[in-house]
Amino acid sequence: MNIQTVVLTVGVLAMGLGCGHPGSVGTGGAGAGRPEVVAQPKRFTQLVDGFSSLLDCQGATQGSVFNCEHEMVLCPNGGFTLLLTDIMNEGRYTRQGQQVDGALEGSGDAPGRFTATLAQDESTFTSAQLPGSHPWNRQLLSGAALTQAQDTCAAMEGRFWW
């Protein structure tokens, strides 16, 4: 057996054992090795602490580059983006029912791992690991916002960590 055969064999075994990729067997997904993910990008926002409303935050920070909301987008390919400050965090998630388990790829300002629980109607989620005391609320995506989210999700597949 030469080196190329060994590498190919190890690579195929790793894919078959579900070594981290959301599309792999063994990642806790739904049916025939396919993970359970969202059908379309889902965007959630959370008002940053210290403010009672988005308008209150925008009025107090007018003219600055301060982000008044945290943002998370769950992607149909099993990836996610998470904006807590001015750093775009990216990673992968798996989902079983209403539970979402995320793992950050690379460095950033988000926790390395988090668990979120989606409401039955998927309008909100909670997470003990993510910062903030306000609820995470789903924002409906359409038109340009949906296209932007789809493009962001697709672009992740070209990252070195994918």
Residue 28 predicted with pLDDT over 80: no
Q: What is the pLDDT of residues 54-80, one digit of tens each?
A: 999 999 998 787 899 999 999 999 999
Question: If 0-12 CB within 10 Å is exposed, 13-18 middle and 19+ buried, where does residue 134 land?
Answer: middle
Question: Could you tell me the pTM of the whole model?
Answer: 0.77
Which pLDDT belongs to residue 33? 56
Q: What is the mean pLDDT of the chain?
A: 82
Which pLDDT belongs to residue 2? 45
- Is 76:156 a contact under the CB 8 Å cutoff? no
Q: What is the pLDDT of residues 93-118, one digit of tens each?
A: 999 999 999 999 988 999 999 999 99
Residue 14 predicted with pLDDT over 70: no
- Is 59:49 a contact under the CB 8 Å cutoff? no
Identify which of 38, 44, 43, 141 has the alpha carbon closest to the alpha carbon of residue 95: 38
Count the helices and strands in the chain (H runs, E runs): 3, 8
Instruction: Supply the DSSP symbol for 36.
Output: B
Residue 120 predicted with pLDDT over 60: yes
DSSP string, 88-122: EEEEEEEEETTEEEEEEESS-SS-SEEEEEE-TTS
Which pLDDT belongs to residue 52? 94
Confidence of residue 35 (pLDDT cuts 50, 70, 90): low
CATH architecture of 35-156: Beta Barrel (2.40)
- Look up residue 144 and give its two tokens: 């340009």
